[in-house]
Amino acid sequence: MKWDWNAVDAFMPDLWKGLLVTLQALALGSLISFGLGLVWALLARAPSRWVRWPVEAVTEFVRDTPLLVQLFFLFYVLPEWGLTFSALATGVCAIGLHYSTYTMQVYRAGIEAVPAGQWEAATALNLPRRRTWTAVILPQALRRVVPALGNYVIAMLKDTPLLMVITVLEMLGRARLFSQQHFQFTEPVTVIGVAFILISYLASLALRALERRLVR
């Protein structure tokens, strides 16, 4: 087997297009998972069991269901009920929803790690419940969970190729299309693998730098 650099050059425009879609899906999916995960975590601590139980049931169901099944359901089943979204929007929502059930557990651990004395001090100062959360508890909890949340960003990146099954042409989708059109599989798939390694490595370095900064 001979490596064909001409095939690599021909694939590069498709790679950049796929990379843009991959990063877009990753960024939007991360925002959804971080925001919704925090909402889940706060609702799971609600005083009323009629709030806690449905939240726990929904998040457990989503967490125990494969992301691939969720993608198929949102893309192929929801339109039968009159809910139609673009392939990319569907993929972003699926990734964000799926990983929000994991970031929920990260937030929960961060909140529980806040010393009990902080709660007692807020109560002694007669702070309103909202003020206690926004000024005392959440700032300390979020600082603790940033490294763990970053790990899920990398996990989401590695799951973006699943979007190919709902016609989203991210990096692997572009490689597959190029390979089918030119009958060359080795070069585009290898380039995609290297691209994922580089992105994951750079993200890991950024996370380590952020973690060191937060520890100061």
Residue 38 near residue 107 (C-beta atoms within 8 A): yes
pLDDT cut 90: percent of the chain above it: 59
pLDDT band at 32 (very low <50, low <70, confident <90, very high): very high
Q: Please report how the helices 87-112 and 138-159 are oriented relative to each other, as an axis angle in degrees rounded to 10.
A: 140
Kindly report the number of other CB atoms within 10 A of residue 156's CB atom: 21
pLDDT by residue (tens digit) across 62-118? 999 999 999 999 999 999 998 889 999 999 999 999 999 999 999 999 888 888 888
pLDDT cut 70: percent of the chain above it: 98
CA 135 to CA 168: how far, in whole Å? 41
CA 111 to CA 137: how far, in whole Å? 7
Residue 137 near residue 114 (C-beta atoms within 8 A): yes
Interval 44-73 mean pLDDT: 92
Residue 37 near residue 97 (C-beta atoms within 8 A): no
* Sequence-ordered list of residues with C-beta below 8 angstroms from that of 87, at least 6 positions apart, any chain: 75, 163, 166, 167, 168
pTM: 0.90
Residue 181 near residue 7 (C-beta atoms within 8 A): no
pLDDT of residue 5: 85
pLDDT by residue (tens digit) across 138-168? 888 888 888 888 889 999 999 999 999 999 9
pLDDT band at 28 (very low <50, low <70, confident <90, very high): very high
CA 4 to CA 6: how far, in whole Å? 5
pLDDT mean across residues, the chain: 89
CA 38 to CA 138: how far, in whole Å? 10
Interval 200-216 mean pLDDT: 79
**Does pLDDT of 216 surpass 90?**
no
